[in-house]
Amino acid sequence: MNRRAICLGVVAILVATTVTAGCGGSSDPTVSRTKVPSPDTHQFVELPTRRCSTQLAYEGVSPVPLDARTPTALPASAPHSDLAAYTNTLGTTLIGPKGWECRSGAGVDGSEFMAIAPSLPEDEFDPSKTPAEAITLRSIPACLGCQAEALCSLFPDAPPVTAYSPRLPCDEKPLRERAEILGNYFATFEDPPRVAGLGEPSGGANPAIGVIAYSHPSGVGKVTCTVSARRRPVCSQIVLAAITSLVTRS
């Protein structure tokens, strides 16, 4: 699921055409609709590969072999000398700054969570205790209720939400959270400081920017970049790679 990440700051550069129908979503005025660019405007850039420590809820899985460098969907013109491709035992990849720590967990239903941060605890990995400054990836391929919970505030008409809506209360989208609909159940979001929204993490001193997407074959995927002001350019590069990966996914 190495395909999720985005940043509203670069969407203005990359996105030009308004989508007029077929995107699913909300009538909220803080939600707008745009269309992503053609993926052929990007070239693959290889980044140094780093192994992400992984906790599995099951046994019998051999770690995916790693190459020294990993092709990523970064634009050739984007600065990338300070970035690395972190890959977990299952082969899922998330881009982050060189020298940061990475932890990952995977459930028996195929769900995954990855976190890259300046420092992470060495004991048991707990996604609910992600540091205030982190880049995260969440994949929910099978748990329908989990998908509905992740989607309902932004995509109330998504199939998992309509299936579970009578039984699953949905928190409203925070008033100050901004979203950009890029395609069918595919959107960027931005949670300002002190706004707890879709971002994982969000609600702290740092703004959170990210992307969330749903499709029937793949389920829900979400990437969040929550970093301090001096590191915000990192998010732009991560986001550029994820936009293309998401557009070109099968």
Task: Classify residue 137: in a domain, yes or no.
Answer: yes
The domain tally of the chain equals 1
Gap between the Cα atoms of 207 and 198, Å rounded: 11
* pLDDT recorded at residue 39: 47
In the predicted model, what is the mean pLDDT of residues 155-179? 89
24: phi > 0 → left, psi -120 to 50 → alpha, else beta; which?
left
Torsion angles phi and psi, residue 238, rounded to 5? -60, -40
Q: How confident is the model at residue 235 (pLDDT cuts 50, 70, 90)?
A: confident
* pLDDT recorded at residue 243: 66
pTM of the model: 0.83
> Please, what is the Cα angle at 244 between 209 and 12, to 5 degrees?
50
pLDDT at 9 over 60: no
Task: Classify residue 166: in a domain, yes or no.
Answer: yes
> How far is residue 43 from each of residues 70, 203, 245, measured CA to CA in Å?
13, 35, 11
Domain containing 60 equals: 8-247
In the chain, pLDDT over 70 holds for what percent of residues? 78
Gap between the Cα atoms of 105 and 60, Å rounded: 15
Q: Helices marked H in the chain — which ranges?
A: 8-14, 144-151, 159-164, 232-247
* Partners of 17 in beta bridges: 35
In the predicted model, what is the mean pLDDT of residues 47-66? 90
pLDDT at 121 over 70: yes
pLDDT at 94 over 80: yes
Question: What is the per-residue pLDDT across 74-85, written as a single tens digit (0 to 9) for each?
Answer: 777 778 889 999
* pLDDT recorded at residue 170: 84
Q: 195 with 174: CB under 8 angstroms?
A: yes
In the predicted model, what is the mean pLDDT of residues 31-38? 55
Task: Classify residue 42: in a domain, yes or no.
Answer: yes
User: How does DSSP classify residue 42?
Assistant: -
Across the chain, what does the average pLDDT equal?
80
Task: Classify residue 2: in a domain, yes or no.
Answer: no
Which tokens sit at 92?
Answer: 């899922």
Question: What is the per-residue pLDDT across 218-233, written as a single tens digit (0 to 9) for each?
Answer: 899 899 999 998 888 8
Task: Classify residue 1: in a domain, yes or no.
Answer: no
Task: Classify residue 132: in a domain, yes or no.
Answer: yes
* pLDDT recorded at residue 245: 66
In the predicted model, what is the mean pLDDT of residues 43-66? 88
Closest by CA position to 177, among listed 18, 24, 26: 26
Task: Classify residue 3: in a domain, yes or no.
Answer: no
Q: What is the 3 state secondary structure string of 97-135?
A: ECCCEEEEEECCCCCEEEEEECCCCCCCCCHHHCCCCEE
Question: What is the per-residue pLDDT across 182-202, written as a single tens digit (0 to 9) for each?
Answer: 888 999 999 999 999 999 999
Gap between the Cα atoms of 178 and 172, Å rounded: 13
In the predicted model, what is the mean pLDDT of residues 141-170? 90
Residue type, 246: L
